[in-house]
């Protein structure tokens, strides 16, 4: 850890104020964090990552995110020279240096740059670890969350799980980007994708939920096993709201009483329309709002929080 910049300094003086990254054993301002064009993470999307958020000066479910990240690396046969405790300290230091109380914090492992003249074997490429902390971002803005997101069911199908495992967090977003253009063309905020059999999977950066006859339902396929998704299911249990993880058709989603989404970068995010169909009174539904409010209330009470010593 080469950089010795003081941790407590004014925002004007802090070179990390816009974000701090860790790479090659050095902390650098986020604008200086670079990846080689020869890195397979860049030119082949051979990379995995995870994102944990910091809220009010504490990580939320940090251990769960680290566990998922290490599982993703194992699935892709990647290794880095840090254990979970060392990685947690690197993430914490990125937040400290940036001085952020609310932050989007990422951990990334790329396949790396092949050695000149070496065989084209991914197993012998030295992997590269990068971490960074930047100011909080919302996948769906607060203004849109307040009135409820407008969603569409995209015509673009989700990449099959047999090709790209959706439980391993990845940058294979070709299908997601096409779906976002579909949403933009339709005047909607974002999209939900179906698998090749017509079942609901997930959206660009978020899990999906429907409230059907009082039960909160989330798809059982084609989606990341989101940490916030699990938090929603945990909150349902706390509140005595029935919940299920099961197959969900597009028609079930369209006809549901309520629809909402969840993600690390935004928490519980209600929707008010899907494919032009208005839910309730064109505002977030009562169960969605109860889950959203309870989720953030529990945050405030320190639920699953790891405080940061600034």
DSSP of 146-210, one letter per residue?
Answer: HH-EEEEE-SSPPPPTTTS-TTS-----HHHHHHHHHHHHHT-SEEE-B-TTSBB--BTTBEEEE
For 20, the 3-state DSSP assignment is strand
Tokens 């998704």 belong to residue: 229
Residue 229 half-sphere exposure, CB side, CA atoms within 13 Å? 21
Q: What is the DSSP letter of 249?
A: B
Per-residue confidence (pLDDT) for residue 178, from 0 to 100: 98
Question: Each residue of 240-269: pLDDT tens digit?
Answer: 999 999 999 999 999 999 999 999 999 999
Locate 179 and state its tokens.
């779906």
Mean pLDDT value across the chain: 95
Whether 2 shows a pLDDT value over 70: the answer reads no
Q: Mind giving me the DSSP string for 30-54? A: GGG----TT-HHHHS--EEEEEEEE
Q: Do domains 20-135 and 142-300 have the same CATH topology?
A: no
* 282 band by pLDDT with thresholds 50, 70 and 90: very high
Task: Characterize the bridge pairing of strands 26-29 and 20-23.
Answer: antiparallel
Determine how many CB atoms are found less than 10 A away from the CB of residue 38: 11
Residue 145 half-sphere exposure, CB side, CA atoms within 13 Å? 17
98-106: average pLDDT: 97
The CATH fold of domain 20-135 = D-amino Acid Aminotransferase; Chain A, domain 1 (3.30.470)
Q: Which alpha helices (DSSP H) does 52-118 contain, by range? A: 62-75, 84-98
**Cβ(120)–Cβ(114) below 8 Å:** yes
Nearest to 104 by CA among 134, 131, 130, 142: 134
Q: Where are the domains of the chain?
A: 20-135, 142-300
- φ, ψ of residue 61 in degrees (nearest 5): 55, 45
**Spatial distance between the Cα atoms of 178 and 53, rounded to a whole number of angstroms:** 27
Per-residue confidence (pLDDT) for residue 12, from 0 to 100: 53
* CA distances (Å), origin 273, targets 156, 183, 199, 284: 19, 12, 19, 9
**Spatial distance between the Cα atoms of 43 and 110, rounded to a whole number of angstroms:** 11
The CATH fold of domain 142-300 = D-amino Acid Aminotransferase; Chain A, domain 2 (3.20.10)
**Spatial distance between the Cα atoms of 135 and 105, rounded to a whole number of angstroms:** 9
Q: What is the DSSP letter of 222?
A: S
Q: What is the CA radius of gyration of the chain?
A: 20
Per-residue confidence (pLDDT) for residue 24, from 0 to 100: 93
pTM comes to 0.93
**Spatial distance between the Cα atoms of 265 and 177, rounded to a whole number of angstroms:** 18
Question: Each residue of 3-55: pLDDT tens digit?
Answer: 434 444 444 578 999 999 999 999 999 999 999 999 999 999 999 999 999 99
Q: How would you label 171-207 residue by residue, b for 16+ Cβ within 10 Å and e otherwise?
A: eeeebbebbbebbeeeebbbbbbbbeeebbbbbbbbb
**Spatial distance between the Cα atoms of 87 and 154, rounded to a whole number of angstroms:** 37
């Amino acid at each position: 850890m080469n950089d010795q910049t003081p941790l407590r300094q004014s925002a004007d003086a802090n070179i990390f104020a816009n974000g701090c990254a860790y790479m090659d054993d050095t902390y650098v301002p986020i604008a200086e964090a670079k990846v080689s064009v020869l890195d397979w993470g860049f030119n082949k999307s051979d990379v995995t990552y995870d994102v944990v958020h910091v809220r009010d000066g504490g990580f939320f479910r940090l251990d769960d995110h680290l566990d998922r990240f290490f599982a993703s690396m194992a699935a892709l046969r990647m290794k880095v020279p840090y254990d979970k405790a060392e990685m947690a300290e690197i993430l914490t230091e990125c937040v400290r240096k940036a001085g952020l109380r609310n932050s989007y914090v990422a951990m990334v492992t790329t396949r790396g740059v092949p050695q000149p003249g070496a065989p084209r074997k991914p197993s012998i490429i030295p992997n590269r670890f990068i971490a960074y902390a930047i100011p909080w971002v919302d996948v769906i803005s607060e203004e849109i969350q307040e009135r409820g997101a407008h969603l569409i069911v995209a015509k673009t199908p989700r990449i099959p799980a047999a090709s790209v495992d959706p439980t391993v967090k990845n940058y294979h977003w070709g299908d997601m980007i096409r779906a976002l253009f579909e949403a933009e063309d339709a005047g909607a905020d974002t999209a939900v994708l179906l698998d090749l059999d017509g079942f609901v999977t997930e959206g660009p950066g978020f899990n999906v939920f429907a409230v059907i006859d009082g039960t909160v339902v989330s798809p059982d396929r084609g989606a990341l096993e989101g940490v916030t998704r699990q938090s929603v299911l945990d909150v349902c249990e706390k509140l005595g709201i029935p919940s299920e993880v099961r197959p969900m058709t597009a028609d079930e989603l369209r006809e549901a009483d309520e629809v909402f989404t969840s993600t690390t970068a935004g928490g519980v995010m209600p929707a008010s329309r899907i494919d032009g169909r208005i839910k309730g009174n064109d505002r977030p539904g009562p169960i969605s709002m109860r889950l959203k409010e309870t989720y953030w209330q529990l945050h405030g009470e320190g639920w699953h929080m790891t405080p940061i010593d600034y």
